[in-house]
Amino acid sequence: MLDCTPKEIKERSGGVINPAKTCQPIGAMYAALGIRNCLPHSHGSQGCCAYHRSHLTRHFREPIMATTSSFTEGASVFGGGGNLKTAIKNVFAIYNPDVMAIHTTCLSETIGDDIPTIIKSAEIPEGKLVIHANTPSYQGSHVTGFSNMTKAMVSYLAEATSETKKEQVNIIPGFVNPGDMREIKRLVTKMSIKFIMFPDTSGVLDSPMTGKFVMYPGGGARVEEIRDSGNSMLTVALGAYASSDAAHLLERKCNVPAMTLKTPIGIKATDEFLMTLRGKFVREVPYALEEERGQLVDAMIDLHHQFHGKKVAIFGDPDIVIGLTEFVLSLGMRPVHVLTGTPGGTLGGPQDIFEKEITEMLAKAGIEGRVKAAGDLFELHQWIKNDPVDLLIGNTYGKYIARAEDIPLVRVGFPILDRGMHHYMPIVGYRGAMRLVEMISNALLDRRERDAADEDVELVM
Amino acid sequence: MERCDDMSTVNLLKDQLVEERKSFIVVKGRQKNQLKCEADSIAGCVSQRACVYCGARVVLNPVTDAIHLVHGPIGCASYTWDIRGSLSSGSELYRNSFSTDLKENDVIFGSEKKLARAIDELVEKYNAGLVFVYSTCVVGVIGDDLEAVCRAAAKKHGIEVIPVQSSGFIGNKSAGYRAACDALLRLIELPAGKLPGRTAGSGGRSVNYLGDFNLAGEAWIITNYLKSMGVDVNVVFTGDATHQSLKKAATASLNIMQCAGSMAYLARRMEELYGIPYLKVSFLGLEDTSASLRKIAAAFKDPEMMRRAEELIARETAGVRPVIEQYREKLRGKKAAIYVGGGFKAISLVKQFREIGIDVVMVGTQTGREEEYQTLHDIADDGTVILDDANPSELEKFMLEKGAHLLVGGVKERPLAYKLGVAFIDHNHDRKHPLSGFVGAINFAREVYSTVCSPVWKYTRGMGGVLHAQE
Ligand code: SF4
Ligand code: SF4
């Protein structure tokens, strides 16, 4: 039987069973792909890089390009400096990117390679850039890796060059799909506000079929834009875990005020996002967006009776899960199990944001539930066995639990390895929320009809 | 020797190959050169090649009732969680992901205690008789004494806890195959009484089947064929294998080996240790399947077995041929490019494509060995491009130049083919239908047909009529 999880819950201290996270470098690799003409580089053994690329390929169904330092035994004894220097030379000679974005791996971190010093002594062609982020996987998760690489964009590239700040906003979208990034850009454009988004993987990982293979598909944040982010009057970091650190660094470095908002999933978070922009830039929310919002509310009302009181378990990356939890609460559902694999706070930032935020939301709604950061899916499964739910929301790995407990699964988050289309279709903004309403409603109704006796099957629901 | 790995050199010069790479590519009938292969990758290339751990995990993962514990930081375990389609007839324990999830402190102060705790907790929970503990790069550097921890745990729980020395940087995937084989050898028990004779004919009728991971149930198909010939499969390495079945591997009288890349070492060692001879076989395509079944019957020197083999071949072929013929009609004139992991698979695929009437215009592998390239060269048509460890620009160049309609490859090649407007089938671990044996030949033809002849390719031309790829 596929279900090997015992119901009885016991304290564990020897590691993870069925993880709800993965390692930092893959997040760093993903973030780096959000710079135009950038080649991510993995400083470590070739195996890590191959895994990260395959995993991203499975999720995005796109070619993922990244290079590796190809450590061998020698490098692991004497350090990987030589490998990295050779790599820098080869990368520019062969692949000719504008930017090479180096992230470390557990191995190079353990050996203790000093990347900035190595970069300084490497030959870098005129006009080309090398940036780096330290991404040891024995801290944090893939979300931390994304955050660290985004921070590196600020520390290496952002500059304050003008006396007065420009009327433009920096948006750090967080670890979301290219379709979400597109949608966030559309919302800001509709607000008639000039913006700089970084990283921005739209146009890179959702590029069209053209009959050609190109190494750098043309999307992504341009280096000049990231530079100019130091001159913006505000940075909006969407998601405390993936985006906050970079925004705060930009504040310290270039004096650009930072604001952290939730990833705009659901009506409340999207409202907050747009209201913030409206307030800071003195703009009216255009009718087009009011209309979208109205449609969303209309949909929520039309279908609310399906949602009310339904128990749901949610897992995935902290920023996404916070947004989802808030949204299902606004639909009248009861998120009784909420879990992320990513550990507590942000590095150097406030601790336990995840558990605190979710616990507050649940308390406000009068719901008793279990909340955990740094958990795993084995534990979530045990929770569900002890306190069953009507619906599971999370990434592909939820399918084992869904099957074992015979509950519907709505796939949201990273990675999704067994369904297509998700990286094109947003879950953020009002439209994204409508899509979530549709997915959740369909999942619940499909299940009800599957289980219904003949006489209970209704045409109109 | 310095060189770039498979996915390198994209922007490189569309019509002119990098000098360094030239010796890795030959065109049949044009050059006399030996193809270079089996070299290491250099730093700064887009490498497709996997690590030691990956190789070891591929081989051992199908052992269904084992706890596969990855000792290292979380990623190594996350990426290998149930990504291979090996089927089980019993336990599904192997489809869970177990990691010691090393943290900073573990790396600084050592992680032996944590590992021991992890084993204790898992054994208590799952009541398993076998634990594989995989070491990863970090563990290799911090120098945990895996052997000692495993020995102690084995003693404490009265089960087998086998360390797999698979730190990623000590070599490549092949080193991992070897590490896995070493782990398997530790499991095999010396049978009581005398060893099975040195010739297959003497006495027993049971074989071990090496190098089938039971993807989509392939090992079961072959096991059934053999059964109908009167041959018992003792244990498959490692498709649908269990702790107990592996232990008695030394009781078989013959090893048949399919995936030589991962299993040659094990076959040789079993011959040395237990006197079990081995035969190379392949069950991909009608031709290879029939030849292999005959070869096995011949090894047993049993006329009755040969008769039954012929009967099986005749019966199955009669069922399959007409279907293949239909597909052949539809696929006439189509051209295929092959880019797979091992040489054995590439060779079989060339033959299989011939069976369904498709010309192979390009064939390459990631890790093919010299003698395999020789065979490829011998069986390929004139003009076929043969290359070792190709990169996307090379794949693109030759596919387009040679007008390939189809690429056979692994995970990372799929989106590349699609971007070029070329059809694709996965002949790797992501395959969803058995491609082995007689029924596999039909599945193969059907899969090729359903992608090559899909109407979606008609729309690859943009609205302005600008190319997007072939028609
Ligand atoms: S070693 Fe570290 S970086 Fe590499 S895959 Fe494992 S966890 Fe990720
Ligand atoms: S750390 Fe080593 S063992 Fe793990 S994936 Fe990377 S190369 Fe392989």
Q: What is the pLDDT of residue B429?
A: 67
| CB–CB contact A45 B95 (8 Å) | no
Tell me how long chain B is. 471
Percent of chain B topping pLDDT 70: 86
Question: Which residue of chain B comes nearest to A65, CA vs CA?
Answer: B46
| CA distance to partner chain A, nearest, from residue B78 (Å) | 6
Task: Give the fold, CATH level 3, of B6-34+332-431.
Answer: Rossmann fold (3.40.50)
Torsion of CA A221, A225, A229, A234, to 10 degrees: -70
Tell me how long chain A is. 461
**Are A35 and A153 contacting, i.e. CB atoms less than 8 angstroms apart?**
yes
pLDDT > 60? residue A340:
yes
A166-283 and A24-157 share a CATH fold: yes
Q: What is the pLDDT of residue B2?
A: 33
Domain ranges of chain B: 6-34+332-431, 52-187, 206-315
pLDDT > 80? residue B425:
yes
Instruction: State the number of CA atoms in the 13 A half-sphere of A257 facing the CB.
Output: 8
Look up tokens 């952290």; give the residue. A260
Instruction: State the number of CA atoms in the 13 A half-sphere of A277 facing the CB.
Output: 28
* HEC readout, A380-415: HHHHHHHCCCCEEEECHHHHHHHHHHCCCEEECCCC
Q: What is the pLDDT of residue B428?
A: 73
Question: What is the average per-residue pLDDT within A300-328?
Answer: 97
Q: How confident is the model at residue B7 (pLDDT cuts 50, 70, 90)?
A: very low
Q: From the alpha carbon of B77, which atom of ligand 1 is closest?
A: 6
Going from the Cα of B74 to the center of ligand 1, the distance in angstroms, rounded, reads 7
Q: What is the pLDDT of residue B17?
A: 47
Question: What is the average per-residue pLDDT within A32-39?
Answer: 98
CATH code at B52-187: 3.40.50.1980
Give the predicted TM-score (pTM) of the model: 0.94
Architecture of the structural domain at A288-456:
3-Layer(aba) Sandwich (3.40)
List, chain by chain if needed, residues with CB within 6 Å of any ligand 1 atom.
A 23, 25, 48, 51, 105-106, 137; B 72-76, 136-137
Q: How confident is the model at residue B133 (pLDDT cuts 50, 70, 90)?
A: very high
Going from the Cα of A313 to the center of ligand 1, the distance in angstroms, rounded, reads 29
| Phi and psi at residue A286, to the nearest 5° | -65, 160
Q: From the alpha carbon of A25, which atom of ligand 1 is closest?
A: 3
**Are B421 and A209 contacting, i.e. CB atoms less than 8 angstroms apart?**
yes
Task: For ligand 2, pick from B41, B71, B76 the residue to mutate: most ligand atoms within 8 Å of CB.
Answer: B76
Q: B150-169 pLDDT, tens per residue?
A: 999 999 999 999 999 998 77
Q: A39-79 pLDDT, tens per residue?
A: 999 999 989 999 999 999 999 999 999 999 988 877 877 88
Domain ranges of chain A: 24-157, 166-283, 288-456
Q: What is the pLDDT of residue A32?
A: 98
CA A93 to chain centroid, in Å, comes to: 32
| CB–CB contact A46 B460 (8 Å) | no
Q: What is the pLDDT of residue B22?
A: 61
Cis-peptide into A164, omega within 30 deg: no
Architecture of the structural domain at A24-157:
3-Layer(aba) Sandwich (3.40)
Tokens representing A1? 């039987």
For ligand 1, atom 2, the nearest C-alpha belongs to A106
Say how many C-beta atoms besides its own lie within 10 A of residue B89's C-beta.
11
Rounded distance between C-alpha atoms, residue B153 and residue A143, angstroms? 35
CATH of A166-283, one of 3.40.50.1980, 3.40.50.2300, 3.90.1300.10, 3.40.50.1370: 3.40.50.1980
| CB–CB contact B92 A4 (8 Å) | yes
Average pLDDT, chain A: 95
**Are A392 and A385 contacting, i.e. CB atoms less than 8 angstroms apart?**
no
Architecture of the structural domain at B206-315:
3-Layer(aba) Sandwich (3.40)
Q: What is the pLDDT of residue A349?
A: 60
| CB–CB contact B9 A94 (8 Å) | yes
| CB–CB contact B168 A89 (8 Å) | no
Rounded distance between C-alpha atoms, residue B268 and residue B273, angstroms? 9
Q: How confident is the model at residue B302 (pLDDT cuts 50, 70, 90)?
A: very high
Say how many C-beta atoms besides its own lie within 10 A of residue B383's C-beta.
13
State the amino acid at position B269 in one-letter form: R
DSSP-derived secondary structure letter, B169: G
CB proximity B390 to A under 8 Å: no
For ligand 2, atom 6, the nearest C-alpha belongs to A48
Give, to the nearest 10 degrees, the angle between helix A178-190 and helix A266-281. 40
Cis-peptide into B303, omega within 30 deg: no
Q: How confident is the model at residue A130 (pLDDT cuts 50, 70, 90)?
A: very high
Q: What is the pLDDT of residue B196?
A: 57
Question: Minimal CA–CA distance to A184: which of A117, A122, A243, A120?
Answer: A243
| CA distance to partner chain B, nearest, from residue A224 (Å) | 23
Show Cβ contacts of residue A292 under 8 Å, excluding neighbours closer than 6 positions: A429, A430, A431
Q: What is the pLDDT of residue B9?
A: 35
Q: What is the pLDDT of residue B28?
A: 63
For ligand 2, atom 1, the nearest C-alpha belongs to B137
Percent of chain B topping pLDDT 90: 63
Look up tokens 């009288």; give the residue. B253
- Residues of chain B in contact with residue A105, where contact means CB-CB under 8 angstroms, are 137
- Reported ipTM: the value is 0.94
Burial class for B125, CB neighbours closer than 10 Å (0-12, 13-18, 19+): middle
pLDDT > 70? residue B259:
yes
Q: For residue A109, which ligand has an atom nearest its CA?
A: 1
CB of B137 shorter than 6 A to ligand 2: yes
Q: A390-429 pLDDT, tens per residue?
A: 999 999 999 999 999 999 999 999 999 999 999 999 999 9
Question: What is the average per-residue pLDDT within B431-455?
Answer: 92
**Are A17 and B93 contacting, i.e. CB atoms less than 8 angstroms apart?**
no
